[in-house]
Amino acid sequence: MLLKNILNNLVVAAYKVKGGYTKIKVRGQSLLISVEHRRTLKRAQSYSIKEPETLDWIDNFESNTCYFDIGANIGQYSLYPAKKYGDSVKVYAFEPQSNNYYALNKNIFLNNLRKNILSYCVAVSGCTEFSTLYIPKFIPGGNRSQFGKEDIENMKISATHTQGMFGVTLDDLSEKWGFPYPNYIKIDVDGIEISILKGAKHVLAHPDLKSVIIELGTSQEQNEAIALMQQAGLEVKYKTTKNWGETCFVFEKL
């Protein structure tokens, strides 16, 4: 562990000398990614190959639309559409983990995308409440954080840190606080996908919604998600495991 920390600090220090970021190109779009940790560097290096289906999905956005990135992490799938479409797509990025939220905002700043992306440090969830975020990887670029309860059985890793966090449903975002009804939604969270869908009945059924991409785990979770989506008028367009081996579904309005 000590050697790993030393290597991490050396890598970060080397990038700090060069400005604290790395330059990459994703499908023709030039982006700067802050290097706060070896994990964020790895995310930058795998940007074009980690989730090709997500990038394909984003490449089909229509102009003059709104996109919600739920579980934005450091912002890969917020930055790319903001850079690609400019003012014709408004991006709302939601990321509760504090290290990730910092890195997300730094990346927005580095790429001068403050007019294109609005970021929020809240947990989109199945109910609107104050609760706890359980964080197993308290680093920039860390994943598997769980809101509301810790599910070690499914996540296979316990928390090393906890944060107090506000959770909010998609329906409340649009109906109570005046967020626009999104045209596109990406949901990449850990363990509460079904709860999020249950708290988004009106948003999912809204005529403005065009498509949703969501990462789903067990067969039971997949079947429940499909049923909820069908109730809202959304059908599976395709299912893929090309996104780093994870099972991902794209739903579209009938």
28 pLDDT above the threshold of 80: yes
Give the predicted TM-score (pTM) of the model.
Answer: 0.95
pLDDT at residue number 155: 66
Q: What is the pLDDT of residues 51-96, one digit of tens each?
A: 999 999 999 999 999 999 999 999 999 999 999 999 999 999 999 9
Q: What is the mean pLDDT of residues 108-135?
A: 97
Residue 42 within any structural domain of the chain: no
pLDDT of 1 higher than 70? no
Helix H or strand E segment including 5: helix 2-17
Residue 217 contacts residue 247 (beta carbons within 8 Å): yes
Structural domain contains residue 228: yes
At 105, the pLDDT band (50, 70, 90 cuts) reads very high
Two structure tokens written together for 89: 């797509």
Q: Determine, yes or no, domain membership for 112.
A: yes
Any domain includes 8: no
pLDDT 10s digits, 173-218: 999 999 999 999 999 998 899 999 999 999 999 999 999 999 998 8
Residue 205 Ramachandran class (φ > 0 left, ψ -120 to 50 alpha, else beta): alpha
| Cβ(245)–Cβ(237) below 8 Å | no
Question: 8-25 burial string, b = 16+ CB within 10 Å, else e?
Answer: beeebeebeeeeebbeee
State residue 13's pLDDT score.
87
Q: How many domains does the chain have?
A: 1
Q: Looking at 102-233, which runs of residues are DSSP E strands?
A: 117-120, 123-124, 129-135, 146-147, 161-168, 184-187, 211-215
In a domain, 3, yes or no: no
Residue 200 in any domain: the answer is yes
| Domain presence at residue 234 | yes
C-alpha span between 124 and 214 (Å, rounded): 14
CATH number at residue 125: 3.40.50.150
pLDDT at 242: 78
Domain that holds residue 178: 49-253
> Quick check: is 33 in a domain?
no
88 DSSP assignment: G
